[in-house]
């Protein structure tokens, strides 16, 4: 069955370190998205991609970067982790830009100490 | 002001109660209106969607959209403990600056106690 996976599921890191969160989907979807979820804020879009080599900034992109070298993967990098980036991160994918349904991964819980 | 506002709750109801969850929005370009359900420590999953105004029913769940008021609702009848989750409204447009992206409300935490 097609799926979307994230790794690691839990991560503790120190302030200032670079961290990369992995997202892999086997749906063969063109679109991939990264969100962070914090209490009281719902899901906020960090970065998204509409295809290979395409990346775009979302509403909370400062301090994060992504690159898309193939259809299946969209890794999220925190360049220099800050305590404000402690959050739960979700990756999602959708078939193409005109499709409203997004499929979400299980999430990565990141703690920056 | 956020494009989508959702009553934050939390909401705690007894089993069998009727639950009403609501969102308002400001972007008139939104065309698809969705409800995602998220169980604890899981990713959100699409529960229901409605295109444009109107009602849609699926078992114990009814979604309503009133585009003239920019207001959407999700009703849960005969609520069950298994309905305990966070419910997120989400909106989608096939045009404009929001094209291809979902805009979410803040989410409402619902607990149904036996």
Q: B95 CA to chain A: closest CA distance, Å?
A: 9
Q: Is A100 helix (H, G, I), strand (E, B) or coil?
A: coil
The pLDDT score that the predictor gives to residue A40 is 81
Residue B44 to residue A50, Cβ atoms within 8 A: no
Q: 3-state class of A64 per DSSP?
A: strand
Query: What is the sign, positive or negative, of the torsion defined by CA atoms of A24, A25, A30, A34?
Result: negative
pLDDT value of position A100: 83
- Give 3-state DSSP helix, strand, coil % of chain B, rounded to 5: 5, 55, 40
Give the one of A33, A92, A100 whose C-beta lies nearest to B34's C-beta.
A100
Contacts of A94 in chain B (CB under 8 A): 100
Contact B101 A43 (CB under 8 A): no
Residues B48, B53, B54: CA angle, nearest 5 degrees: 70
Q: What is the pLDDT of residue B1?
A: 76
Tokens representing residue A108 in the block = 């990565």
Print pLDDT tens along chain A (113 aa): 779 999 999 999 999 999 999 999 999 999 999 999 998 888 999 999 999 999 999 999 999 999 999 999 999 999 999 999 999 999 999 998 778 899 999 999 999 99
For residue A73, the model assigns a pLDDT of 98
Cα distances from A25 to residues A73, A93, A97, B46, in angstroms, run 7, 7, 16, 17
Contacts of A68 (CB under 8 A, 6+ apart): A32, A49, A51, A52, A53, A54, A55, A74
What is the pLDDT confidence band of residue B100, given thresholds at 50, 70 and 90? confident
**Phi, psi at B45, each rounded to 5°:** -130, 140
Q: What is the pLDDT of residues B17-68, one digit of tens each?
A: 999 999 999 999 899 999 999 999 999 999 999 988 889 999 999 999 999 9
End-to-end CA distance of chain A: 37
Tell me: the pLDDT tens digits for B75-94? Answer: 999 999 999 999 999 999 88
Report how many Cβ contacts below 8 Å link chain A to chain B. 50
Test B49 with A102 for CB contact under 8 angstroms.
no
Contact assignment for B92 to A100 by CB distance below 8 Å: yes
- The CA distances from residue B107 to A5, A32, B23, B45, in Å, are 23, 22, 9, 13
* CA distance linking residue A7 with residue B38, whole number of Å: 19
Q: How many CB atoms lie within 10 A of CB A55?
A: 16
Half-sphere exposure of B103 (CA within 13 A, CB side): 24
- Considering only CB atoms, B101 lies closest to which of A48, A101, A107, namely A48
Task: For residue B64, give both structure tokens.
Answer: 């309503």
For residues A77 and A20, give the distance between their C-alpha atoms in angstroms, rounded to a whole number.
4
Q: Which residues, other chains included, contact A80 with Cβ-Cβ below 8 Å and sequence gap of 6+?
A: A16, A17, A18, A63
């Amino acid at each position: 069955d097609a799926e979307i996976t994230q790794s690691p599921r839990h991560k503790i890191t120190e302030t200032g370190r670079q961290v990369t969160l992995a997202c892999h989907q086997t749906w063969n979807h063109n679109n991939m998205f990264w969100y962070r979820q914090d209490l009281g804020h719902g899901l906020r879009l960090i970065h998204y991609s509409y295809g290979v080599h395409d990346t775009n900034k979302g509403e909370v992109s400062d301090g994060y970067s992504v690159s898309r070298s193939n259809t299946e993967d969209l890794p999220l990098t925190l360049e220099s982790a800050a305590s404000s980036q402690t959050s739960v991160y979700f990756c999602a994918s959708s078939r193409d830009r005109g499709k409203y349904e997004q499929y979400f991964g299980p999430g990565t819980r990141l703690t920056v100490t | 002001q956020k494009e989508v506002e959702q009553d934050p709750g939390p909401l705690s109801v007894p089993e069998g109660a009727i639950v009403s969850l609501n969102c308002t929005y400001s972007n008139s370009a939104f065309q698809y209106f969705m409800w995602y359900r998220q169980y604890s420590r899981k990713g959100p999953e699409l529960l229901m969607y409605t295109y444009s105004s109107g009602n849609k029913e699926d078992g114990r769940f009814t979604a309503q959209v009133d585009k003239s008021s920019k207001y959407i609702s999700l009703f849960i009848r005969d609520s069950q403990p298994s309905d305990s989750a966070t419910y997120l409204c989400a909106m989608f447009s096939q045009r404009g600056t929001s094209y291809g992206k979902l805009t979410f409300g803040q989410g409402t935490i619902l607990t149904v106690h036996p």
